[in-house]
Every structure is written in C-alpha cells, then in structure tokens.
Structure 1
C-alpha cells in the first residue's frame, strides 16, 4: 500500500510541476487541408475554350474539373446566395445548403467560328453527383462574351481551393476542390 501511495504522490508532483502534461490541443483542419471559403480569382482572360466538365470523389474532398483546349488562366470562384445565368442574370434553381458560382475566363465556343465547344446534355445536371459526400448539383449557367459559368450546389459552405493544371497534351484544366468538412 505504501508503494501505491509513493507512486501516486510522485505522479501528482510531476503533474503539478508540469513534467507530465497532456499534449497541446491540435487545431489541424480536416485531412490537413488549410483551405478557406473566401473568393478566389485570377482576372486574366484566356482564348482556350471549354471542352468538358467532369467531377470526381476523393477521400477528403469532391472535385470539379473544367477541361480546356489551350492554357487555363483566369477564373472567379465564390460562394453566392443564388447562382445566376451568364448574360441574363436570371437565377438558376440549385440544390444544396450553399452555392458556388464558378466562372472560367474562357468561352465554351470557338472564338473564330462561334461554334460551341461544349454543350451539356442536361443544363441542370451537367454531371451526375448523386452519392457524392459534398456536391449536390452541377448546373450550366452559360457562356457569354468569353466567360463560361457553372453553378455548384454543395452540402454546406465548406472550404475550397482552385488551381490550374497543364495537360493532357496542349490542353489544361481548371480544378475546384471542395472539402467534405472544416
């Protein structure tokens, strides 16, 4: 019994002196992601045209990719209270708890001929995101005067990141990742 009291006294003294203490609380974000939810933009215009829109699921985030014929450059991605169509400004009905208005500073048509380079089969459901953890809907908002816009309905206002990637070939990609959690 004396040994137990001696050990208990030693442990309590060590804790009291700060020799034994729990580790500091970590403020690390979900999956180590350090993204935010504020607007991200690059105002550079591009003559690269939109050729496809696709989505994918990852462990920590859902991803939307806009494929371009040429070099991706400018974009504007921000949370909005409602997604609006290019040109008319009319609201688009969206599913989700929060909405991202995504604008690529690239047309979805050939600049010389005016012929469309991407036409979604369904403007309200550009890609099928059923079963995604964060995405609820991808809607076409149009292509007007060199800009192409999409609406992205998500589960809640969550952190996101935007970046461009080269390839495949001479093309490029505008990528928007939205985290599953904060």
Structure 2
C-alpha cells in the first residue's frame, strides 16, 4: 500500500509541477519587458531646409514607458522636418549666449527650425520661460525651459532624470484644419 500511495503522491506532484510551469509561462509580460527600447542616446537631427513653419505651441504627456514632448508647428506646409535634438552639458540662450539653468541629471538641447514669431508678431510665447510646460510628477522629465527664438529657430532645454534613450519623429498635419504638423520627442523611463 505504501507503494501505491508513493505513486499517487508522485503523480500529484508531477501534475502540480506541470500546471505551475504552464502558469508561469502564461503570465503576462512585465512592464519592464513591454518598455524595452532600442532608441539610443545619440543626437538626432534632420534638416529639410524648405520649412517655412512657425512654432505655435509646446505640450507634454506621460506614457507607460516614456515621457513625451510635442511641438505644434504651422505655416505653409502640412509637413515639418527640421530639428536637432541632442544631449549637451549646457544649453545657451539664443542671441545672448547666457546659460539656461535646468533641473535634472542630464539635459537635452532641442532646436526646432521654426521661429516662435511670424510676420504679425509672436506665434508662441511661454507664460513662464523657466517652466514652459508643467512636468511635475513625470517619471523622466524634470523641466522644460525656454532658451529663445532667434534667426529662424527656437531652442528649449529639456531637463531629464538621467541620460536616457530618446527618439524624435514628426507627424504631418492636415491641410485647412487646426491639425498642424508636430515634432515629437519621447524620452524612455529606463534603458
């Protein structure tokens, strides 16, 4: 009888082990697995030289795996593509060359090849140059500071938690609507 009982216990243990293996393999991917990125932290730049847009707005958003900064640009075209985004030691103000102080362990210099002014004056003027967009409570962003708009381009300092991977891309606008082209910068929460 001991042998039959030993076999029953062994069978129950084998079934439980198989069920546990299936359950472990079937668990959903962790947030860390879903947030794997391969963007890198090297400079990202593109220059179409044909852009005639102006900067109309700056906004930010939080996502599960990254924080996002969006530049709304508008003008003659439904497309936009001139920018230079890179990690730097310091960002200097356009025109004056004064250092722009920014919070964070690293700083991204964002140059949008679109001025914040047009024929009829300012197209975008931040209420607070030190806090262009409120990013308190964001996982990666620490501060968005204004560095100026001069000679056809606008510069901002994006303070981030650390030198993290980022990507830059543009989204086309829709002609004859309020949906203007956009420059998008995503900075990952982790490597």
TM-score (normalised: structure 2): 0.77
2:39 is paired with a residue whose SS is coil
Q: Look up the SS of the partner of 2:109 in the other structure.
A: strand
CA distance in 1, matches of 2:157, 2:48: 21
How far 1:114 sits from its partner (Å)?
5.2
The answer on 1:63 being equivalent to 2:63 is no
Asked whether the equivalents of residues 44 and 105 of structure 1 are also in contact (C-alpha less than 8 Å), the reply is no
Q: Look up the SS of the partner of 2:122 in the other structure.
A: coil
Structure 1 residue 82 and structure 2 residue 87: aligned?
Answer: no
CA deviation profile, 1:152-171 (whole Å, cap 9, x unmatched): 00000000000000125362
Matches within 5 A, 1:118-157: 118-157=124-163
Looking at structure 2, the residues matched to 135 and 30 of structure 1 have their Cα atoms a distance apart, in angstroms, of 20
Alpha-carbon distance between aligned partners in 2 of 1:116 and 1:50, rounded to the nearest angstrom: 9
Question: What CA distance in whole angstroms lies between the structure 2 residues aligned with 1:34 and 1:81?
Answer: 23
Residue number in structure 2 paired with 1:162 = 168
Aligned position for 1:104? 112
Of residues 169, 180, 189 in structure 2, which corresponds to 1:180? 189
Q: Quick check: 134-143 or 162-171, which moved more? A: 162-171
Unaligned runs of 5+ in 2: 1-5, 7-31
Whole-angstrom distance in 2 between the partners of 1:63 and 1:90: 27
Alignment match, 1:41? 45
Residue 64 of structure 1: how far off its partner (Å): 0.2
Instruction: Rate the CA distance shift 1:33–1:180 in 2: closer, same or farther, 3 A.
Output: same
Q: 1:99/1:29 Cα in 2 relative to 1: closer, same or farther (>3 Å)?
A: farther
Q: CA RMSD in A?
A: 2.1
